[in-house]
Structure 1
Amino acid sequence: MPLPGGRGLLLGLAAAAAAVMAARLMGWWSPRAGFRLFIPEELARYRGGPGDPGLYLALLGRVYDVSSGRRHYEPGAHYSCFAGRDASRAFVTGDYSEAGLVDDVSDLSFSEMLTLQNWLSFYENNYEFAGRVIGRFYGEDGLPTPELTQVEAMITKGLEANKQELKEKQKFPPCNAEWSAARGGRFWCSQTSGGVSRDWTGVPRKLYKPGAKEPHCVCVRTTGPPSDQAPDNPTHRNHGDLDHPSLEEYAGCPPLAMTCSVPL
Structure 2
Amino acid sequence: MLRGALAAFALALAAAWFWGHGFDPGQRPLVLLLSAAELSLCRGSEEGERLLLAVLGQVFDVESGRRHYGPGGAYSSLAGKDASRAFATGDFSPAGLVDDVSGLAPLEMLTIQNWLSFYHKNYAPVGKVVGRFYDENGAPTEYLRQAEALMAEGQRLQAQEEDKKKQFPPCNSEWSSAGGSRVWCSKQSGGVHRDWSGVPRKLYEPGSSHSHCVCVKAQGQPSSPQMSHRGELENPLLQEYEGCHPLAEWCAVKE
Q: With structure 2 as the length reference, what TM-score do the two structures score?
A: 0.83
Match of 1:65 among 32, 55, 61: 61
Shift of 1:80: 1.8
Aligned partners of 1:183 and 1:263 also within 8 Å = no
The percent identity for this pair of structures is 56
How many residues matched?
Answer: 228
The letter of the residue matching 2:75 is: Y
Higher Rg = 2
Q: Distance in 1 between matches of 2:241 and 2:71?
A: 58
Is 1:239 the counterpart of 2:230 in the alignment?
A: yes
Residue by residue over 1:138-182, the C-alpha shift from the partner in whole angstroms, topping out at 9 and shown as x without a partner, is: 111211111111111111111111111111111111111112344
Higher relative contact order (CA 8 A, sep 6+): 1
Corresponding residue for residue 248 of structure 1: 239
DSSP-derived class of the 2:175 partner: strand
Q: Which ranges of structure 1 fall in alignment gaps of 5 or more residues?
A: 1-31, 230-234
Question: After the TM superposition, which parts of structure 1 deviate over 3 Å for at least 4 consecutive aligned residues?
Answer: none
The letter of the residue matching 2:56 is: L
Shift of 1:111: 2.3
Segment drifting more, 252-261 vs 124-133:
252-261
Match of 1:216 among 191, 212, 216: 212
DSSP-derived class of the 1:199 partner: coil
Tell me how large the CA RMSD over aligned residues is: 1.9
Is 1:148 the counterpart of 2:156 in the alignment?
A: no
**What is the 5 A alignment of 1:154-169?**
154-169=150-165
Q: Distance in 2 between matches of 1:52 and 1:136?
A: 28
**What is the 5 A alignment of 1:110-189?**
110-189=106-185
Aligned partners of 1:45 and 1:52 also within 8 Å = no
Shift of 1:211: 4.4
Shift of 1:220: 1.0
**What is the 5 A alignment of 1:32-47?**
34-47=30-43
Specify whether residues 61 and 236 from structure 1 end up closer, same or farther in structure 2 by C-alpha distance, changes over 3 A only.
Answer: closer
The letter of the residue matching 2:224 is: D
Specify whether residues 200 and 96 from structure 1 end up closer, same or farther in structure 2 by C-alpha distance, changes over 3 A only.
Answer: closer
Q: With structure 1 as the length reference, what TM-score do the two structures score?
A: 0.80
Residue by residue over 1:208-248, the C-alpha shift from the partner in whole angstroms, topping out at 9 and shown as x without a partner, is: 0024441111111111221234xxxxx86321111111011
Q: Which ranges of structure 2 fall in alignment gaps of 5 or more residues?
A: 1-27
Specify whether residues 224 and 133 from structure 1 end up closer, same or farther in structure 2 by C-alpha distance, changes over 3 A only.
Answer: same
Specify whether residues 122 and 226 from structure 1 end up closer, same or farther in structure 2 by C-alpha distance, changes over 3 A only.
Answer: same
Shift of 1:52: 5.0
